[in-house]
Structure 1
Amino acid sequence: MGHGKTAIVLGGSVAGLCAAGVLAAHFDEVVVLERDLLPADAEHRRGVPQSKHPHFLLNSGRTAIGAIFPGFEDAMLAAGGRLLMPSMDAAYCENDGWAPRKQSTMTMVYSSRIMIERVLRDKVRAHANIRVVEGASVTGLVTEGGGRPDGRVTGVAWRDADGADHVSAADFVVDALGRGTSVPDWLVAAGWDAPPERTLDAKVTYTSRWYQLPPADQRPDGWWWKHLVITPTQDTGEHPDEHDYLSNFFPIEDDKAIVCMGSWGLDMARKTDAFEASARRVRAATFGAAMDACTPLSEVHLTRSTGNKWRRYDELATPPVGLVAIGDSICAFNPFYAQGMSSAARSALVLRDLLDARPAVDVAFHREFLAQQRKSLDVPWMLAMARDQAYDFATGTETVAPWRRKLAAKVSWPVFNAITAASREDTYVEETFTAVFNLDKSLKEMARDPRFLWGLVRYRLRQLLGRTTVPGGFDERQDPPGTDWTDPMRAAAERRTVEHAHA
């Protein structure tokens, strides 16, 4: 179809499936080698242990996957995904308590990771020239001229489910094997330099358990929300460890939820009783009460492999021709920031655009791809570094001087508080922050935007003068209030009426 006969994708998870969807338009045959035997429905599998935790598909990722697989969002909703507006359908407990509820520009499709993969597999199966080989373990690469300017990858060695060894020729190979990929080692053995690595591990641990929600008519009074988010306390005094957790009551398909708690540098519960006790000590009592109202569906799942790692193929003097890395194989993030799937889909779009623009997969193609991919990955990487560099116990190449750690730790939460507060009354601030959160705009762009900065200053002045119209927060010891503050004057009048009636 223009770029060669055969492309091989190593790995059939989100990154690999997105890459396969892109390659299908440019190669006669696309072969996906997947180690697991893939379930027909949305089920967990050994190769994706993190599927037991919540997964956010950011708007940029949702848009990218929709461009690769038209109809993806409709298919997600038909499969049980939930299209929600977080500012209206989620209750956020922030520094000042429960954030006021109001409409915004951001929507999200909520589902489990296993549902996302099932829908993507269905989309891939619709391509006649994509073939998924299950139970296939990749054992090496076939190369020519390793380390030379024209050195390239020409094939893949793999072992099938019956133990038989195969060598398949390829005009193009995509590494989507994830954090633990052996591809860099195979390239070094073939004569290339190892890609430099940028790393930062902030010792994040998170633990999750799946639950069935009670029937709608049996849920507690005031349970208007679909999603609960409890941010870490900013109180520096004595408090339970659980007050430092980032906690999510995350809605998925089939009226289920994933209760997830995570922390930077703290031990997390592994057993059921300890997990439930921790959830009840989270600083907003609504969180534990919601868990107690649900029926457990799983054991407790804990993950510690959460460090940020970026393999910088773009810095190699002679990158291998005929091979690119996508997803965690090139850049893995702290999962707290929900950037992995979206970053992988964005890289797949970079690949699509370059295949559309260039007739040959040559040295120039690879240098241009790596440059554009670096620019795309810079956006989420900068966001991850901004928070994770604040911890004294963080390790890796991207740790910073003590004064910078202290500065990051001191200003990161106040800046976040200022942005979320101003967003409630300034549409431009809200839209800009939403774009950064969804990776559609960089942190650097936001920090250099005069209109955005003026929005923060103006809100602070209005706050000091007592002229804000949306309240700053509500008592976290109570249930989150369901008042819609989209029209502040009407909401204030309704609240006064209720308060008068209860007086």
Structure 2
Amino acid sequence: MINAEVGPMVLGSVAVVLGGSVGGLCSAGALAPYFDRVVVLERDELPADARHRRGVPQSKHPHFLLNSGRRAIGELFPGFEDELIAAGGLHLMPSMDAAYLDGEGWSARKRSAMTMIYSSRILIERVLRDKIRDVSNVELREGVAVHGLSVHDGAITGVQLSTSAGEEHIDADFVVDAMGRGSSVGDWLVAAGWPEPPVQTLDAKVTYTSRWYDLPSAEQRPSSWWWQHLVIMPTPDKGQHPAEHDFLVNFFPVEDNRVIACMGSWGHPMPRSTEAFLEAAHRVRTPLFASAMDRCAPTSQVHLTRSTGNKWRRYDRWSTPPKGLVFVGDSICAFNPFYAQGISSAASSALLLREHLSRAGSLGRKFCVEFLAEQRKLLGVPWRLAMARDQGYECAVGTEQLPEWKRRILAAVSGPAFSLIVGAAREDVVVDEHFSKVFNLDESLGRMMTNPRVLAGLVRYRIRAALGRERVPYGFDPQEEPPATDYSPAGTATTAPRTGAEV
């Protein structure tokens, strides 16, 4: 459909994107080649630099940019990754650059297949805004409140909005809902005659709280700080222990020599005040977290978030979805943020939209049905990963809540199964590669666990562990500093490519 000489075929005059966050900006990049004009409508006034804004409260917490997401954004906006790093983003190999406390103690430091880009959410959005402002036919409109859609003969034909100047209507050939968890588009569609979409939910009562710090200079840091990222997983101990031992803790590096100290949990109340935050930090499983915070200078108050439930609006199950409308990001499928799936899923949906536009002859109902069907497959991968963990928690509620006997089985096997995979990945390059793909949403967990070579690696590791013949040590005392020794197996590559080997 795309002619190298004349460029992509224009499919319409005006496309409108509702929302100017990551999903909306990526969608604008996907639409730009196929419409004369793309208008992004954003409620907030967008800052020129990397600053927090009201519409993205979760920007105050850590955000991982998974490989699937960074690759999708890179395809939509060539040069994005280089510009993110130039702006201060950190390209790191977590297995070498992160101190990881899992199970009974610290994991060994070693090289692996996985690398990641670390940065704040606000920097990711700032670089994306810079990229989209370079696209000549995309217009960013700020301070706009969208309050309805125009519908004619089963098709979305426009957007109703208000600005400081008054009410306005924009005729549109195509609309993307990127308004996030709180999107009202579904309600507007029901009011226009569509049925209530089926909704799948599971809320595992996740709450997390964060505070920003300036790191000491490299010269002022202790010699034992070989790590840049600190991760403390919940304890496997089933006996009596402090609630803080159940916390998932991150000391997360971002640009400009800053770090986000974050504690989160499933079902526990989390500290809201600075005093409570500091007290809780001293009760987590290792003293390293609190001592690292003590060496840094705080630059924010404590930020708490509780809107973390998994929610999938199943528009794909409508037999006649609206013509000229698709959904990306949290507006269709929102995940527990602990699993870092949101940005990558939104960017991947936008890339999928571009692929469908590139071969579309028209934008009728068939286009929307086919896109929703393909998007269902894409979203199913992170959704099943989130369910595999959250369904095991006793506090979890929603349509996807398991019967108690199934929940108990899942809770009993998920932790040991995860530890088995992590342990095998330490010593088996094939298991490590597939685990990296699953973590980065490049492969489903089901596909990994039916791969004969992966299964053989897991069995081999289990036998070696039972005989005490592991090649890579683990379980170092959490009350001590994590070991700086490089325990990489012989033959492991000394450097990792930026993206090529991570696909």
Whether the TM-score (by the shorter chain) exceeds 0.5 is yes
Q: How do residues 81-480 of structure 1 correspond to structure 2 at under 5 angstroms?
A: 81-145=89-153, 151-160=154-163, 162-480=164-482
Unaligned runs of 5+ in 1: 146-150, 491-503
- Counterpart Cα distance in 2 of 1:356 and 1:456: 42
- Counterpart Cα distance in 1 of 2:470 and 2:262: 34
Unaligned runs of 5+ in 2: 1-8, 493-503
- Counterpart Cα distance in 2 of 1:444 and 1:254: 39
State the secondary structure of the residue aligned to 1:263: strand
Aligned residue in 2 for 1:6: 14
- Counterpart Cα distance in 2 of 1:96 and 1:304: 28
Residue 488 of structure 1, CA deviation? 6.0
Aligned residue in 1 for 2:6: none
Q: 1:39 aligns with which of 47, 50, 67?
A: 47
Residues 5-34 of structure 1: CA distance to partner in whole angstroms, max 9, x if unpaired? 000000000000000000001000000000
Q: 2:60 aligns with which of 40, 52, 64?
A: 52
RMSD after superposition: 1.1
- Counterpart Cα distance in 1 of 2:288 and 2:491: 28
- Counterpart Cα distance in 2 of 1:399 and 1:201: 9
- Counterpart Cα distance in 1 of 2:398 and 2:249: 26
- Counterpart Cα distance in 2 of 1:204 and 1:463: 33
- Counterpart Cα distance in 1 of 2:195 and 2:351: 27
Matching residue's letter, 2:289: F
Does the CA-based 8 Å contact 1:470-1:488 persist in structure 2? Answer: no
Residue 464 of structure 1, CA deviation? 2.3
Aligned residue in 1 for 2:500: none
State the secondary structure of the residue aligned to 1:158: strand
State the secondary structure of the residue aligned to 1:309: strand
- Counterpart Cα distance in 2 of 1:332 and 1:212: 31
Residue 221 of structure 1, CA deviation? 2.8
Residue 226 of structure 1, CA deviation? 0.3
Matching residue's letter, 2:411: A
Does the CA-based 8 Å contact 1:207-1:301 persist in structure 2? Answer: yes
- Counterpart Cα distance in 1 of 2:89 and 2:474: 32
- Counterpart Cα distance in 2 of 1:37 and 1:372: 34
Does the CA-based 8 Å contact 1:2-1:359 persist in structure 2? Answer: no
Residues 263-286 of structure 1: CA distance to partner in whole angstroms, max 9, x if unpaired? 000000000011011111110111
State the secondary structure of the residue aligned to 1:28: strand
Segment of structure 1 superposing worse, 47-56 or 390-399: 390-399
Residues 133-185 of structure 1: CA distance to partner in whole angstroms, max 9, x if unpaired? 0000001000013xxxxx1100000011x151001000000000000000000
Does the CA-based 8 Å contact 2:92-2:116 persist in structure 1? Answer: yes
Distance 1:393 1:275, change over 3 A: same
Matching residue's letter, 1:152: A
Residue 237 of structure 1, CA deviation? 1.1
Q: Give the aligned length.
A: 484
Identity across aligned pairs (percent)? 63
Residue 465 of structure 1, CA deviation? 2.6
TM-score, L = length of structure 1: 0.95
State the secondary structure of the residue aligned to 1:199: strand
- Counterpart Cα distance in 1 of 2:466 and 2:135: 59
Residue 466 of structure 1, CA deviation? 3.0
State the secondary structure of the residue aligned to 1:423: helix
State the secondary structure of the residue aligned to 2:208: strand
Residues 211-264 of structure 1: CA distance to partner in whole angstroms, max 9, x if unpaired? 000111111230000000000001011111100000000000000000000000
Residue 489 of structure 1, CA deviation? 11
- Counterpart Cα distance in 2 of 1:78 and 1:216: 20
Does the CA-based 8 Å contact 2:427-2:489 persist in structure 1? Answer: no
Does the CA-based 8 Å contact 1:60-1:440 persist in structure 2? Answer: yes
Does the CA-based 8 Å contact 1:446-1:452 persist in structure 2? Answer: yes
Does the CA-based 8 Å contact 1:469-1:488 persist in structure 2? Answer: no
Residue 193 of structure 1, CA deviation? 1.1
State the secondary structure of the residue aligned to 2:129: helix
State the secondary structure of the residue aligned to 2:279: helix
State the secondary structure of the residue aligned to 1:480: coil
Residue 463 of structure 1, CA deviation? 1.9
Residue 472 of structure 1, CA deviation? 2.3
Aligned residue in 2 for 1:497: none
- Counterpart Cα distance in 2 of 1:359 and 1:132: 27
Segment of structure 1 superposing worse, 211-220 or 338-347: 211-220
Aligned residue in 2 for 1:498: none
Matching residue's letter, 2:100: Y
State the secondary structure of the residue aligned to 1:87: helix
- Counterpart Cα distance in 2 of 1:360 and 1:277: 59
- Counterpart Cα distance in 2 of 1:310 and 1:229: 29
- Counterpart Cα distance in 1 of 2:406 and 2:127: 43
- Counterpart Cα distance in 2 of 1:465 and 1:256: 44
Matching residue's letter, 1:400: L
Does the CA-based 8 Å contact 1:9-1:173 persist in structure 2? Answer: yes
Aligned residue in 1 for 2:31: 23
Residues 440-476 of structure 1: CA distance to partner in whole angstroms, max 9, x if unpaired? 0001111211211111100111222333211122111
State the secondary structure of the residue aligned to 2:238: coil
- Counterpart Cα distance in 2 of 1:430 and 1:197: 35
Matching residue's letter, 1:21: G
